[in-house]
Amino acid sequence: MTQLDQLKQFTTIVADTGDFQAMKAFAPQDATTNPSLILKAVQKDEYKPLLEKIVREHAALSTDGIIDQLLVAFGLEILKLIPGRVSTETDARLSFDTEGTIAKGRALIKLYEAAGIRRERILIKIASTWEGIRAAEVLEQEGIRCNLTLLFSLPQAIACADAKVQLISPFVGRIYDWFKKSSGQDYTGADDPGVQSVRSIYTYYRKFGYATEVMGASFRNTSQIVELAGCDLLTISPDLLKQLAESDAPVQRKLSKETAQSADLKKISLDEKSFRLALNDDAMASEKLSEGIRLFCADAVKLDKIVDGLR
């Protein structure tokens, strides 16, 4: 069996791409997108007709409205290829706007439902800021499932679980990047700080019986992926999916509910003040969260300009 086939025995595999043509070969259960992936996709020749069609058909809408239509159009195409769920991201410029994020989540779900898609097949991606978590809490109460992204720390994960969100996406690769740059050394296998972060979150969740799903994200190499075999879900780029599909090296389960329940942990309570202090005290998490929001905001602006240029 390939590494990819072995992983599928322990973990739900998710394709991390806006390029729905690229995911056909790997038969993932779910798929995720983000502003950077959509921006990259719409600049490819094969997706320009879809972009032009959306702009043409919705020319009377605002740029923001056209972007919503575009995101959903990509989501609809992806849903034709997978049996599970697609994650569609809210505008990163709403990361500190609870009411704006709630409104955006409702708007995206309304578009999907108008196209005949049940809301159970959609995850609304929201940045794991305090404001984003509060928005997700409201949306979840309305039956709109959420994927909390740009997550780099246990306090963020705990706040998400307490808000009863459906799923979180801790970013393995970006944590690895920060520590590699900060320390000047490389990390492999179980010593990788990104891997350790996801393991600690998974263990905490299963120790205390949280229902929130853990989906490792943002991988730099297949070693990071293999070290998290057994995590609820792993979202993986097409390049790394290809590497896993071409390798037959053994994969062993590394994470399990049974092992987590035997861990010696104390439950942590967080309110807004303690959340913000804990996040501020974690230089890596606070820096990577801010950086991630800036990058997604920049790509959202670029996407706006592409759409405006076609109007």
For the annotated catalytic residues, the residue numbers are 125
Contacts of 211 (CB under 8 A, 6+ apart): 164
- Cα angle 109, 307, 295 (rounded to 5 degrees) comes to 75
Note the Cα 107 to chain centre separation in Å: 19
Give the residues across from 168 on adjacent strands: 148, 214
DSSP state for residue 91 in the 8-state scheme: P
- Quick one: tokens of 192? 């990788």
* C-alpha to C-alpha distance for 301 and 311, rounded to whole angstroms: 16
What are the C-alpha distances in Å from 222 to residues 1, 4, 115, 238? Answer: 16, 10, 36, 12
Q: Which residue, 14, 153, 194, 18, is CA-closest to 89?
A: 18
* Sequence-distant (≥ 6) Cβ neighbours of residue 145 within 8 angstroms: 85, 119, 120, 122, 123, 124, 139, 166, 167
Query: Which region, left, alpha or beta, applies to residue 233 given φ > 0 means left and ψ of -120 to 50 means alpha?
Result: beta
Distance between the two ends of the chain, CA-based, in angstroms? 50
